């Protein structure tokens, strides 16, 4: 947004040569293990690390400075760091003058966050704030990495923008080993966005509201395209609840387990007139469907995934689909044809040809060119070698725009009734919900172990390994606990991998105003021992 596009600006293999890693709201050694290993390689080569996380992650352990902030206080923290940078004259004046706009507003906003105030809000000591600012701002190059700890808040967009502010303030963007890097969660979340599986954009982030964009696709597809944006997922759920949406076709997702306030989601889907679910397993969502379509797994089809560093890579068919299952793309083609618009693609390679013709970032991509190494978009033409890092010399939107960001508080902070703060995330040995179907992984990590600080455990009379009931305003579950100082006092941490302890019955469906991302990272809960 600030730069004009949403993707990792740098490449994964730049990480080992980084000078400074600023890791915020991200637990790469568990959620993105290979990226985590590259970060550790950087540390072994002398890189400095600033880790920002309320939870003691592995990177927090190796960090030069670990800012253990109170959950949800990221904006105050970054404003405070920028305040310190400006107070010491560590900003990159040349970069600000040549490549950005809006600096004066930023300066005025940041002035409201002197270190002492920020320390009070965040719980981080002033000297740690100064040290973090010094390490990041005075480095020869520095990269910011963030994940869902930043975005899964009601002000997730603001969190992201303020990180962009920080990078531009110090000129740490648009060159090797310098940038702002979201580590995208799922294998092809980057690609699904690139492909326009979003209500407001066509493939390649071309706005549905743009007449020229629509014209291009209308010409290619020979149909009119609606000019208003469609519904985002949380709105779909609400619309289903209100009978405005009557039918849903869900492919490869399990919102009942993965979306916040799961009980509400379940109710909404039950309200639908017709629900089709296409999946490889009979998921919790599929159980609610009128028709279930058996899909092939990734091993049973050809295609491409786009990773977090924008690398488009081949997925190659290794085996025939199990039983009567069919590849998703074949099912979609069949349905389109039956609905009167024949999708006559002989193969995914054919589909890619159409993608390339309509998506500027993918214009030079063919299956043949991807080969064994893939290509990093943008690949504007058939000769282009791909793009290692973005924004060299110029941002996608021209000049980088500083955004003055106001500090906000989470939608549902703990209170007297629900005194603990629940935060959710991923574990190393599982990925979302699908890995539970791996016998090997499931036998290794068979159950949830919610993390609770020893102080709280003692107060609540709970011992390591005991079962507890966790309840929020929306639902309740049972889980085992692990007593550990990895979490702050007053905090409970859970993963969302286990349908036996489905954390999302607890989470709050309040969402970001722009992206509609749920606030998975903060809600109030209460914990009691199961007797």
Partner 1 sequence: MEWITLTIDGRTVTVPKGTTVLEACRMNEIPIPTLCHDPELSSYGSCRLCIVEIEGMRNLPPSCVTQATQGMVVRTQTTKVRDSRKTILELLVANHPLDCMTCQKMGDCDLAKYAYEYRVTGELFKGGERRHLPLDDSNPFILRDANKCILCGKCVRACEEVQGRSVLDFSFRGFHAQVGPAFNLPYSESECVFCGSCVSVCPVGALTEKKMVGQGRPWEVEKVQTTCPFCGTGCNFDLNVKDGKVIGVTSNPEAPVNGKALCVKGRFGMDLIHNSERLTTPLIKKDGEFVEATWDEAMDLVAQKLGEVKQEHGADAISVLSSARCTNEENFLMQKLARAVIGTNNIDHCART
Q: Which of residues 78-107 bind partner 1 (CB under 8 A)?
A: none
What angle is formed at CA 380 by the lines to CA 379 and CA 383, rounded to 5 degrees? 75
Residue 462, interface with partner 1 (CB under 8 A)?
A: no
Residue 328, interface with partner 1 (CB under 8 A)?
A: yes
Question: What's the chain's length in residues?
Answer: 531
The one among 132, 180, 213, 240 contacting partner 1 by CB under 8 A: 240
Inter-residue contact 72 to 410 (CB < 8 Å): yes
Q: Which residues contact 477 (CB under 8 A, 6 or more apart)?
A: 469, 470, 501, 502, 503, 505, 506
Q: From the CB of 225, what's the least distance to partner 1, in Å?
A: 5
Q: Which residues contact 299 (CB under 8 A, 6 or more apart)?
A: 317, 318, 319
Query: Could you give the CA distance from residue 32 to residue 325 in angstroms, rounded to a whole number?
Result: 30
Residue 514, interface with partner 1 (CB under 8 A)?
A: no
Query: Could you give the CA distance from residue 478 to residue 462 in angstroms, rounded to a whole number?
Result: 14
Q: Site map for partner 1, 307-326, x if CB under 8 A?
A: xxx-xxxxxxxxxx-xxxxx
Q: Which residues contact 287 (CB under 8 A, 6 or more apart)?
A: none
Residue 434, interface with partner 1 (CB under 8 A)?
A: yes
Measured from the CB atom, the residue of 34 and 111 that comes closer to partner 1 is: 34
**By C-alpha distance, which of 219, 192, 217 is closest to 207?**
217
The one among 88, 105, 210, 438 contacting partner 1 by CB under 8 A: 438
Residue 336, interface with partner 1 (CB under 8 A)?
A: yes
Site for partner 1 in 341-370 (CB under 8 A): 341, 343, 345, 348, 351-352, 354-355
Measured from the CB atom, the residue of 43 and 85 that comes closer to partner 1 is: 43
Q: From the CB of 439, what's the least distance to partner 1, in Å?
A: 5
The one among 373, 397, 459, 513 contacting partner 1 by CB under 8 A: 373
Q: From the CB of 407, what's the least distance to partner 1, in Å?
A: 22
Residue 270, interface with partner 1 (CB under 8 A)?
A: no
Site for partner 1 in 162-181 (CB under 8 A): none
Query: Could you give the CA distance from residue 394 to residue 142 in angstroms, rounded to a whole number?
Result: 18
Residue 33, interface with partner 1 (CB under 8 A)?
A: yes
Residue 208, interface with partner 1 (CB under 8 A)?
A: yes
Residue 111, interface with partner 1 (CB under 8 A)?
A: no
Instruction: Give how far Cα 197 sits from Cα of 216, 329, 351, 373, 488, Å.
Output: 17, 14, 15, 25, 38
The one among 292, 405, 468, 527 contacting partner 1 by CB under 8 A: 292
Residue 516, interface with partner 1 (CB under 8 A)?
A: yes
Q: Which residues contact 276 (CB under 8 A, 6 or more apart)?
A: 247, 248, 249, 250, 289, 290, 291, 292, 293
Q: Which stretch binds partner 1 (CB under 8 A): 106-114, 137-145, 296-304, 469-477?
A: 296-304
Ranges assigned E (strand) in 455-507: 467-471, 476-483, 491-495
């Amino acid at each position: 947004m600030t730069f004009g596009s949403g993707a990792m600006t740098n490449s994964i293999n730049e990480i080992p040569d980084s000078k400074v890693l600023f890791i915020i709201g991200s637990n790469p050694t568990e959620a993105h293990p290979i990226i985590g290993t590259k970060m550790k390689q950087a540390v072994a080569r002398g890189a400095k690390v600033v880790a920002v996380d309320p939870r003691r992650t592995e990177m927090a352990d190796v960090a030069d400075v670990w800012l253990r902030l109170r959950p949800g206080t990221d904006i105050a923290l970054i404003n405070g760091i920028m305040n310190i940078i400006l107070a010491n004259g560590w900003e990159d004046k040349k970069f600000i003058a040549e490549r950005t706009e809006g600096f004066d507003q930023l300066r005025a906003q940041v002035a409201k966050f002197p270190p002492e105030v920020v320390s009070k809000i965040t719980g981080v000591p002033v000297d740690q704030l100064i040290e973090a600012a010094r390490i990041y701002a005075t480095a020869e190059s520095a990269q910011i990495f963030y994940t869902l700890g930043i975005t899964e808040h009601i002000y997730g967009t603001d969190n992201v923008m303020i990180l962009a502010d920080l990078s531009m303030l110090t000129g740490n963007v648009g060159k090797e080993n310098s940038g702002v890097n979201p580590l995208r969660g799922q294998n092809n979340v980057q690609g699904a966005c690139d492909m326009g599986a979003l209500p407001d954009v066509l493939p390649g982030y071309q706005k549905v509201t743009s007449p020229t964009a629509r014209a291009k696709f209308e010409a290619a597809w020979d149909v009119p395209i609606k000019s208003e944006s469609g519904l985002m997922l949380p709105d779909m759920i609400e619309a289903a609840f209100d009978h405005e949406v009557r039918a849903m076709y869900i492919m490869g997702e399990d919102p009942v387990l993965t979306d916040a306030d799961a009980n509400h989601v379940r109710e909404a889907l039950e309200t639908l007139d017709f629900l089709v679910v296409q999946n490889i397993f009979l998921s919790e969502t599929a159980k609610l469907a009128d028709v279930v379509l058996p899909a092939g797994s990734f091993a049973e089809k050809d295609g491409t995934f786009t990773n977090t560093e924008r690398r488009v890579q081949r997925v190659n068919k290794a085996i025939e689909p199990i039983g009567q299952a069919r590849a998703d793309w074949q099912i979609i083609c069949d349905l389109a044809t039956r609905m009167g618009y024949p999708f006559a693609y002989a193969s995914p390679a054919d589909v890619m040809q159409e993608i390339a013709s309509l998506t500027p970032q993918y214009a030079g991509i063919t299956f043949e060119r991807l080969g064994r190494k893939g290509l990093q978009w943008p690949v504007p033409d058939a000769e282009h070698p791909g793009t290692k890092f973005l924004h060299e010399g110029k941002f996608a939107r021209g000049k980088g725009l500083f955004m003055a960001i106001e500090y906000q508080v989470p939608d549902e902070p703990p209170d007297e009734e629900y005194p603990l703060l629940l935060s959710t995330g991923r574990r190393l040995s599982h990925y979302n919900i699908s890995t539970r179907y791996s016998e090997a992984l499931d036998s290794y990590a068979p159950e949830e172990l919610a993390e609770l600080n020893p102080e709280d455990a003692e107060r609540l009379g709970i011992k390591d390994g005991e079962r507890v009931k966790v309840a929020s305003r929306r639902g309740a579950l049972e889980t085992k606990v692990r007593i550990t100082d990895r979490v702050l006092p007053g905090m409970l941490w859970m993963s969302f991998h286990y349908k036996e302890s489905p954390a999302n019955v607890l989470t709050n469906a309040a969402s970001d105003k722009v992206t509609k991302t749920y606030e998975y990272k903060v809600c109030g809960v209460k914990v009691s021992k199961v007797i």
